Amino acid sequence: MRRPWRIVFVIAALIVTTTTHWPQLTLPPTGPSDKTTHLVAFGTLTFLFWRTGWIRARWLVVLIMLAWSALDEVTQGIPALGRHVSSLDLLANVLGVLIVGAWLWALKPVGRAMNMLRLRRSAHVVDVIFRKDERFVAFIAIGMLGAGAFLVGWKLLPESSRHALMLGTGASLMIVGGLCTMAWWRQTTRDLIAKKTCFECGTDHPDFTPDDFGFGTCTTCGQQLAADQWSTFTSPRASATLHAARLPAVIGLSVLPGIVLGAFALAKVYEMSLGGRLPSLSLAQPIRTMLRMPMPVQNLVDITIVCLVGAVLVALYRRRVARHYDQAIRCRACGHDLRGASMSNGQGRCGECGVAFMVPTDG
C-alpha cells in the first residue's frame, strides 16, 4: 500500500534536490518569495517521507528531515555550483519540517483500546484510498490546474491582491481535494465493513465467525480480529463535541493574543534600542536580528507560530474526543470492559464495581 507514496516521495526529493543545486540558478524578480518555496518544499517532503512507511517513529522522521534540510543548504556552497549558503533559506527549510512534524505529533493515535481501534481503521482507509495510482494522478492534476490559475492571476492582478490570491488558491485546492477524499472515504469504508477487511494486511473475511469472546484470527497474517472492529462508530453528540472543544478554544483565545502582544512588545524594545535608550539591554541585539529579517521570513515565522499553537490545541481536542469512544465500552471508574454488560436504552451498571454508565447514541 505504501508503493505510490514512495514513488511520489522519490520524485519530489529529486525535484527539490535538483532545483536547490542547479548551477547558477536565478529566480525571476516577481513571484512568491523563495523562502515560502523552501518552507513548502521541505514541509511536503517531510509529510511524504512519513507516508512512505520507511520510518515509523515520528520524532525520527523529523530529525532525519532536519538533517536533510541542513545538508541540502550546506552543499549548495560547493564552488562548482555557483550557489551560496543562505541562513534564511535554512531557516525556512527548518520551519517547514517543524510545522509538519508538529502536526504529525498532533494527529498521532491517542486514547485507549476502542479509540485506538477506530484510528487504526481510519489509517487503513487512508492507505486503501491512496493505494491506487489514479488517485495520485487526480491530485497532481488538481494541483497543476491550481498552479496554472495561480500563475496567471499573479501576472494579471496588482501586487496588493497577490496575498489574497495565494490564500484563495490554497483554500480552493484544499476544498477540492477534501471533497474528493471524502467521497473516496465513504466508499472505502462501506467496502471495508461489508468485506470485513483485516487492517494489517488487507485480506477480506466476509464469512468471519468470532469465538465466544468476540475475537478471531486473520487467515493471512495472523493478526487478531475483533467482531466490533467493523461496526459503525457512533460520533459524539454536538454537546460532547463542544465540551471537548471548550478547553482548547479557551487556551487558543488566551495564547494567540498573548503572542500578538509579545510581538508588539518586541517591536517596541527594538525601537527603543535604535534610539539608544537601551544600550545595556542584552536582549536588544537578538530582537534587532529578528526584526531586521526580510518581511517574507518574518511572515513565515508568524505562520509557524500559529501552526505550532494550532497543533497543540488539536492534540488536546483529540485526546478529549477519544474519551467518548473509550468510555463507551470501558467503565469510567475501574476501566472494566462493558461490552458484555446488560443495558437498557443504552444505560447499565458496571459488573465489576457497580458504577452506572451510558453508551452515547445518535441524536
Measured CA angle at 178 (ends 176, 184), to 5 deg:
110
In the DSSP assignment, the letter for residue 161 is G
CA–CA distance, 265 with 4 (Å, rounded to integer): 48
Which helix or strand (DSSP H or E) is residue 226 part of? Answer: strand 224-226
pLDDT of residue 362: 38
Report the candidate in 336, 313, 340, 317 with the shortest Cα–Cα distance to residue 326.
336
What is the per-residue DSSP string for 48-107? HHHHH-S---HHHHHHHHHHHHHHHHHGGG-GGGT----HHHHHHHHHHHHHHHHHHHHT
CA–CA distance, 213 with 208 (Å, rounded to integer): 14
**Residue type for position 81:** L
pLDDT of residue 361: 44
Strand partners, 161: none
- Residue that the C-alpha cell 484563495 belongs to: 168
Per-block average pLDDT, block size 10, for the chain (363 residues)? 87 92 64 80 96 94 96 89 85 96 95 82 88 83 87 82 80 89 91 89 87 80 82 73 89 82 71 58 58 78 90 94 74 64 69 66 38
The phi, psi pair for 210, rounded to 5°, reads -75, 165
The phi, psi pair for 349, rounded to 5°, reads -130, 140
pLDDT of residue 293: 75
CA–CA distance, 357 with 338 (Å, rounded to integer): 9
CA–CA distance, 151 with 279 (Å, rounded to integer): 47
Measured CA angle at 15 (ends 86, 166), to 5 deg:
70
What torsion, rounded to 10 degrees, do the Cα atoms 322, 127, 11, 135 define?
-110
What contacts 198, CB < 8 A, 6 or more positions away?
Answer: 204, 205, 218, 220, 221, 223, 225
Label the pairing between strands 347-349 and 356-358. Answer: antiparallel
How much is the pTM? 0.79
Label the pairing between strands 347-349 and 343-344. Answer: antiparallel
- Residue that the C-alpha cell 481503521 belongs to: 121
What torsion, rounded to 10 degrees, do the Cα atoms 16, 20, 25, 31 define?
60
